[in-house]
Amino acid sequence: MSDKCVLILVAADAAEDHGTTVRGKAVRDALKHKYRVVTLSSRSRYSASVLMLVAGYVAWMFKLVYAVPWNRVDCVYCCSDYFGFVSSYILSRMFGFCVIFEAHGILSEENKAKNRPAVVIRVCSLIERFAVGRSDHVIALSRDIFEFYKTFNDEIDLIPAFVDEQVYKAAHTRAADFKTIGLVGPFDMPANKYYLQFLYEHVDAFDPRIRFRIIGKCDNMIADDRITYTGYLSSRDGYAAELASLDALLVPAQLPTSGPLNKILEGMACSLPVYTTPEGIVGLNCLENGKNIIVEEGRTLVGTINQSVFNDALTRTIGDNARKLVEQQYSRAANKAKLVRIMEQWLHRDTGHL
């Protein structure tokens, strides 16, 4: 193992499991056998309050001032962490390490989709231009992100969201008389709250033989014989086992995130037929409706599920094709070498420490 140190910054509590933290852990697992890897978490997501934003930035800066020299950092890897990038960029001028920024979405475009005020969109545009433009290297999680940000920085590569194909895999024979469809949280996140709203509003319209399993932290539970809740799952293996035990996965996304949804890839890796909306597949390439995923508008999604989920030949074919796509493009095996190559490119430059 090299003595080079990679510090991964995650703008959330690293103990939680959602898009940003899952990616941070995937990068860590891909690099930890070659480099000394340290993960630093901001512990909580950034608040919309201006006062809390400023306080969060100051606290994050002090944490990095201590962590960088203590760990003799050679590279800081920012997992879509804009606060962490600003702090790291300033410190990199002092300590001589490189900074890689990983873009999980297009910040300004996401805020446009949420109909945020023009001033907010403008500020987001300035922030993303600074982070992307000043990074030593940028890694984009999707083709759309890559195309948008390549005008800001020539040192950019596309490494899609990827999953550990050895952890997420099919594990059971599906029953014929009833089906269990899963929804994945955590459901305290605004985007995921809509998944529950969709289910609760339409539960009586689903075929009565369909049951639902709500996977992840959920405070909005209802009493219904067809719905069960797992609660928060602390183990990745436990989460993967829950996914693999399903007959299908439902991701009724309402707004596009401009970045790929890990939960869709995890379901596909488990050979599940994934039902989602057009907004859910933004950022994912090579998906073909009816071949490796099922995509429907929200208003017709329930009817499509009722008509297809009991067609075992169809769902098995879609699940098998989904697994093949993950293995080819979205697995750790398919992307680890490229990530390591980029790290080697920067870690073996003569930057040194002051």
**Mean pLDDT of the residues in the chain:** 89
Q: How far apart are the first and last CA of the chain?
A: 23
Provide the pLDDT confidence category of residue 283 given band limits of 50, 70 and 90: confident
Count of CA atoms in the C-beta half-sphere (13 A) of 22 = 25
Count of CA atoms in the C-beta half-sphere (13 A) of 232 = 9
Q: What is the pLDDT of residue 59?
A: 76
CB neighbour class for 260 (10 Å; exposed up to 12, middle 13-18, buried from 19): buried
Nearest to 181 by CA among 287, 302, 327: 302
Nearest to 131 by CA among 50, 76, 94, 49: 76
Judged by DSSP in three states, 118 sits in helix
From 103-107, 195-199, 260-264, 292-296, the region with the lowest mean pLDDT: 260-264
Provide the pLDDT confidence category of residue 49 given band limits of 50, 70 and 90: low
Query: Which pTM does this prediction carry?
Result: 0.86
Count of CA atoms in the C-beta half-sphere (13 A) of 333 = 10
Residue 16 has pLDDT above 70, yes or no: no
Q: Inter-axis angle of helices 312-325 and 262-269, to 10 degrees?
A: 110
Provide the pLDDT confidence category of residue 57 given band limits of 50, 70 and 90: low
Provide the pLDDT confidence category of residue 46 given band limits of 50, 70 and 90: very low
- Using CA atoms, how far apart are residues 84 and 284, in angstroms rounded to an integer? 26
Instruction: For domain 5-162+332-347, give the fold.
Output: Rossmann fold (3.40.50)
Q: What is the pLDDT of residue 82?
A: 87
Residue 43 has pLDDT above 70, yes or no: no
> Quick one: what percent of the chain has pLDDT higher than 70?
89
**Tens-place pLDDT, residues 106-139:** 999 888 888 899 999 999 999 999 999 999 999 9
Provide the pLDDT confidence category of residue 172 given band limits of 50, 70 and 90: low
DSSP-assigned letter for residue 214? E
Q: Which residues contact 140 (CB under 8 A, 6 or more apart)?
A: 102, 103, 146, 149, 156, 157, 158, 159
From 2-11, 49-58, 68-77, 320-329, the region with the lowest mean pLDDT: 49-58
Superfamily of domain covering 179-330: Glycogen Phosphorylase B; (3.40.50.2000)
Q: Please give the residue that has the higher pLDDT: either 92 or 175.
A: 92
Q: Write out the residue limits of the CATH 3.40.50.2000 domain(s) in the chain.
A: 5-162+332-347, 179-330
Residue 14 has pLDDT above 70, yes or no: no
From 28-37, 43-52, 60-69, the region with the lowest mean pLDDT: 43-52
Q: Please give the residue that has the higher pLDDT: either 51 or 217.
A: 217
The answer to whether the beta carbons of residues 184 and 216 sit under 8 Å apart is yes
Using alpha carbons, list the distances in angstroms from residue 71 to 34, 217, 351.
16, 34, 16
Strands (E), 124-178: 137-140, 156-158
Provide the pLDDT confidence category of residue 8 given band limits of 50, 70 and 90: very high
Best-predicted range by mean pLDDT (18-22, 114-118, 207-211, 253-257): 207-211
